[in-house]
Structure 1
């Protein structure tokens, strides 16, 4: 009987030790929800859509580069799939890409996620805990009801953040909501949680519904710095065939493929606040450069005078 009691106590201790990180995570998110509910309680959303203030949908550059992004949604049924042929093609061609993965897809494909995260061609980013539009008041997009409060916005972002970090060892830098719809305050909260909100300016496959020809036609509209939106969770679709042909054409046009994180500081469009801050920064740097130039000229003149004295 005594041994049985000891075994029970030992089991309880083991469970507590094993779940320490989970307990801390729960405590953290509950505190975050309280803090953000207080911080944003007076903020009323003024914008709703795919490209509201703060959403990044391109890389600001003149270079012929393209960022390919692939979503894995995990809404059940076919949406839980994995397009292995598509990913194997990217690997064989050494094409980097940014993968936005939802918590629901991870639950079905955990081992695949871990394998993908170990490949330096890919970075794993956040596609939401429940794959919902990001809203403070339950706005819907494509028939999908969005988050309905500040607390739900925090959960949608943060719960999948910690899941990805625990499985891959890397915290996501970027967030993309289910349906790619947001209100402007939800975007502010995402930024506050340390994640830039990423959308696209080339609709690559329309939720994996495009035929091969449509995928190719869409791809050739690319401009320097374009961000493409594709899906990697629908192997029965024509995404692989379309992407394969599109990449051949884009390479012939001189385009190279990049990961978003490698151009983090060039993600646009920039907000007015960022433009203002950068303008002040540039002006300050100009003043510093002018001051350095004046100091250099003064020092140079002193040296010349000193040389003249020595020569005499």
Structure 2
């Protein structure tokens, strides 16, 4: 447990720059407005403060992204991993982080994107889910559109501002409760303005930090909150082999792996992915998007 906490702290030491690793501090999530929630949450949560997942029915419309039914008391549902079956599926997820106030740093030349990583995923033919902040889509609209229009990928919501939805979340500025829902909705508005089609009703909390108050605040958006069960450790890492080993050691059937699509804060991610993908394929794993794992948990085939 101590080792895990150290690993998570290292990954999340990004402060205001990255958003991909916190410890979950509460219950379960729900789905955004386009689609309606459906599935049963089979995300085996080991986080003590996260409540049990609610069950749901698969949607009768196969074109709609599957979401989880609301959790207890109508709270946003939380998904962490897919079914642990003999079907060896794994979802690589990439957080495209940019905090609302980092415009001057981008103007000065800091790169919050990573086009070579996206090119590598295309070259390797790896489906992936990109959790994008609205601010990132505004800064890199061409890339955001390109990712959103590529059937290999799906775009999901990582907030507009990349500010924290709890206090004390790896140094991120904290949003007041009455602005949480608006921040999620503003990200979808930014995606539409950038021409990103079909952003999914999935949401990843900045830093991975959430509690019951946050789950209640964003419930009306209808999103399913998506966490992970494998921390890559790519944030500020300089050893691609160490990142690859951490992923390979952690992956199990149905795993959701959290990585970053932010060149300045995760410079070795592309090289790590190039090592991870062929090895997992050699082990019999098939790469899928988060929507497929949620669909499997919901019973949609």
Give matches, 1:130-141, under 5 Å: 130-135=161-166, 139-141=167-169
CA root-mean-square deviation: 2.3
User: Where does structure 1 differ by over 4 angstroms across 4 or more consecutive aligned residues?
Assistant: none
Q: How many residues align?
A: 217
Q: Which moved more, 1:221-230 or 1:162-171?
A: 162-171
1:211 is matched with 239
Larger Rg computed on CA atoms: 1
Q: Distance in 1 between matches of 2:119 and 2:206?
A: 25
1:8 is matched with none
Q: Distance in 1 between matches of 2:234 and 2:270?
A: 14
User: Does 2:288 align with 1:258?
Assistant: yes
Contact map agreement 1:73 1:80 (CA 8 A) in 2 = no
Q: Distance in 1 between matches of 2:118 and 2:229?
A: 22
Contact map agreement 2:191 2:199 (CA 8 A) in 1 = yes
Gaps of 5+ in 2: 1-46, 52-76
- Quick one: which of 216, 224, 228 aligns to 1:196? 224
Please state how far the C-alpha of 1:148 moved relative to its aligned partner. Answer: 1.6
1:178 is matched with 206
Q: Which moved more, 1:114-123 or 1:230-239?
A: 230-239
Q: Distance in 2 between matches of 1:51 and 1:213?
A: 33
Could you say which structure has the greater relative contact order, defined with CA pairs below 8 angstroms and 6 or more residues apart?
2
Q: Distance in 1 between matches of 2:91 and 2:246?
A: 14
Q: Which moved more, 1:92-101 or 1:209-218?
A: 209-218
2:140 is matched with 109
**TM-score, structure 2 normalization:** 0.66
1:284 is matched with none
Give matches, 1:1-312, under 5 Å: 52-53=50-51, 54-62=77-85, 63-75=87-99, 76=102, 77=105, 80-135=111-166, 139-149=167-177, 151-166=178-193, 167-209=195-237, 211-220=239-248, 221-234=250-263, 237-267=267-297
Please state how far the C-alpha of 1:261 moved relative to its aligned partner. Answer: 1.2
Q: Taking structure 1 as reference, are residues 58 and 210 closer, same or farther at Cα in structure 2, changes over 3 Å only?
A: farther
Deviations 1:260-305 (A, max 9, x none): 112323459xxxxxxxxx9xxxxxxxxxxxxxxxxxxxxxxxxxxx
Gaps of 5+ in 1: 1-48, 269-277, 279-312
Contact map agreement 1:55 1:197 (CA 8 A) in 2 = yes
Judging by fraction of residues, say which structure has more helix: 1
Deviations 1:49-107 (A, max 9, x none): 89734421111241211001001111333774222221111101111000011112112
Look up the SS of the partner of 2:218 in the other structure: helix
Contact map agreement 1:52 1:182 (CA 8 A) in 2 = no
**TM-score, structure 1 normalization:** 0.64
Q: Taking structure 1 as reference, are residues 59 and 191 closer, same or farther at Cα in structure 2, changes over 3 Å only?
A: farther
Contact map agreement 2:81 2:293 (CA 8 A) in 1 = no
Please state how far the C-alpha of 1:210 moved relative to its aligned partner. Answer: 5.4
Q: Taking structure 1 as reference, are residues 148 and 52 closer, same or farther at Cα in structure 2, changes over 3 Å only?
A: farther
Deviations 1:239-260 (A, max 9, x none): 1111110111111111110011
